Amino acid sequence: IEQKLNAQPFFLTGKWEMVEGSGDARGTSAWLLTGATADERRQAESLIALASAARAFYAGLLGPLSSVPDAPIRLIAVRRGAGFNEAGTVLLDGAVFRRTKIDSVTALLIADAVARMWIGGATPVRGEGNGAIREGLSRYLALLFLEKQFGPETADVERLRGRIAYAAIARRDAPLSQSTPLLDTHYTASANKGAQVWRLVERAMNRDAFHTVVRNQLQATRETGMTLTALRQALVEGGGASVRGVLDYGFDQVTDTDLLVGLPQLRGGEAVAALRNTGALEATVAVRATTEGGERLTTEAKVPAKDFGEARFRTQARIVRVEVDPDKFYPQLDYGNDVVPPTASVEEAIAETARSLTRAEHAQVEKLTREALTSSPRVQEVRITLARSLLAQNKFDEAEKEFRTLLDEKLPSPSALAWAGVGLGEIALRRGQAAEAAKRFNEAVRTDAESPATLAARAGRLKAEAAAGAAPAPDEGARSFIAQLDQAIRSGRKTEVEALIVPGELASFSRGIVSSQPEAWQTRVLRTEALGGDRLAADVSITAKTLGRDQAGTAVLILARTGGGWKLAGVPDTLFEVR
């Protein structure tokens, strides 16, 4: 296949079944792992529609792909390498096609990847600071697409996640114009801070003017390549000194901005709140106040660089809450002091509630999460923790409401989908609805998000299927193979163990078995399920004795059919609970 976009060569090997888009989605395809179900094909069609909508959005914003208007988009299911994208090819974890809805991580990845067909694909990106364009401008455009496709609130949730990711490295990153992939902060900073800086530039110029400059630069530099220097020069010509200040600070300096606000004082018939800006860029910010009666007031204020300012509200009512830069345009070192009275930042709330949940302090978790959701109601990570704490307190009706709220999100995170399945499955099981519980647990297993949710879902599914009297019979061929594997492990002989493993896989597992020489190893197959035409997952319990120590627990073994028989292809560390 001829590659007409700028791209590095790569190749994939495997067996796929293709789903082709039609109509407006023509030229977009999904490549599913063999043995795909009808549900996976329906999900593939939804993802094809999303990618095609992104393509149409960028064509309207940036102009057609010019010399390559028919460049294909390929969404390819893989078992490893998910997240890679180049010139319209996007590698997605096979689990993405098994989920009940499009999740936020996948939607953002696809939106990013399609934007890069213009930025870096049709027009190469070169020179120092290219990550600010390749990663940052693409992410800015991807968030605009999500805003159009799923609404402003959904896009704001993704911007919040980006701020949280950037805040973790904000005190040690390099200026974006000097950042390179050799720095461990490069991709996080380039994508997340970069998108924020471009949003600031958009505000300084106005959206239409900014997009016009970007579109013209992309078209004018198709042969020579776009550079950060040239794009900045064009933006300054179109926007003047205020835009230059944003560009110079955003790209040439490390982040030093922290915006602080004080409680208003009544002065001359107005409520006046003190503001402080610790950064080197003058900040023009909205300041939002809430009165005792619930009225919301918004004013605009300018806070000079490394100086103080004031926000004035024409009211004599008592103000109980003030927030500076509520839309969070400015990259900051600390967002926790943007509000008075002080409240924990979203990232602090997520961390603190997770710690309390681990300590089984469920009443405290409920209190903290409800407080956090009052100011940030769309933060799914906090709502997951609230729902789990309510479930642990046997508040089933309240927990069910929170889990269903997560499922009703336009773009739920993979973790939200998984924990909602686990939670609703547990509630159904407690209510004696075993068949419904098994269905919910199975959805959570297929979501394959974070390991704690997957472990809980697999254990819950076994329990629910047994209660419903609907436990599927394990594959006899797999059971026979695993008995043979047990015998090889007990022998401790390298040749016997490796003969049962797919060549090139599980080298560390094989070495560990041979070096430890287990005195006992017994595997009981609890359940098997097909993962495609030639793969199978087996839920097992293992009892072993290694180096004189008894061990027991559950695991998941991935088997692959090769040459008419099964071989061991994977033992996911995150699901190996033999202790």
pLDDT digits (tens, 9 = 90+) for 249-291: 999 999 999 999 998 998 888 999 999 999 999 999 999 999 9
Domain boundaries, the chain: 1-55+64-98, 123-255, 259-340, 346-468, 476-575
472-485: b (≥16 Cβ within 10 Å) or e: eebbeebbebbeeb
What kind of fold does domain 476-575 have according to CATH?
A: Nuclear Transport Factor 2; Chain: A, (3.10.450)
The CATH architecture to which 259-340 belongs is Sandwich (2.60)
Q: Shortest CA distance to 197 belongs to which of 108, 328, 335?
A: 328
Write the CB contacts of 487 (distance below 8 Å, at least 6 apart in sequence): none
Alpha-carbon span 319 to 16, nearest angstrom: 61
Rg (CA), the chain: 27
**What pLDDT, on the 0 to 100 scale, is given for residue 1?**
60
| Secondary-structure class of domain 123-255 per CATH | mainly alpha
Alpha-carbon span 336 to 185, nearest angstrom: 22
Alpha-carbon span 508 to 486, nearest angstrom: 17
Q: How far is CA 537 from the centre of its chain?
A: 25
Residues of the chain below pLDDT 50: none
Write the CB contacts of 577 (distance below 8 Å, at least 6 apart in sequence): 455, 553, 554, 555
**What pLDDT, on the 0 to 100 scale, is given for residue 105?**
97
* Contact assessment for residue 139 and residue 112, using Cβ atoms and an 8 Å cutoff: yes
Tens-place pLDDT, residues 463-522: 999 999 999 999 999 999 999 999 999 998 899 999 999 998 998 888 888 888 889 999
- Give the HSE-up count for residue 143: Cα atoms under 13 Å, Cβ half-sphere: 22
Q: How many residues does the chain have?
A: 579
Helix (H) or strand (E) holding 551: strand 549-562
Write the CB contacts of 280 (distance below 8 Å, at least 6 apart in sequence): 249, 253, 256, 257, 305, 306
How would you class 224 by CB atoms within 10 Å of its CB: exposed for 0-12, middle for 13-18, buried for 19 or more? exposed
Distances, alpha carbon 9 to alpha carbons 80, 243, 253, 397, 559, in Å: 18, 38, 35, 53, 31
3-state DSSP helix/strand/coil % of the chain, to nearest 5: 50, 20, 30
Under DSSP, the state recorded for 318 is P
**What pLDDT, on the 0 to 100 scale, is given for residue 564?**
79
Q: What are the tokens at 463? A: 């329990």
Does the 346-468 domain belong in CATH 1.25.40.10? yes
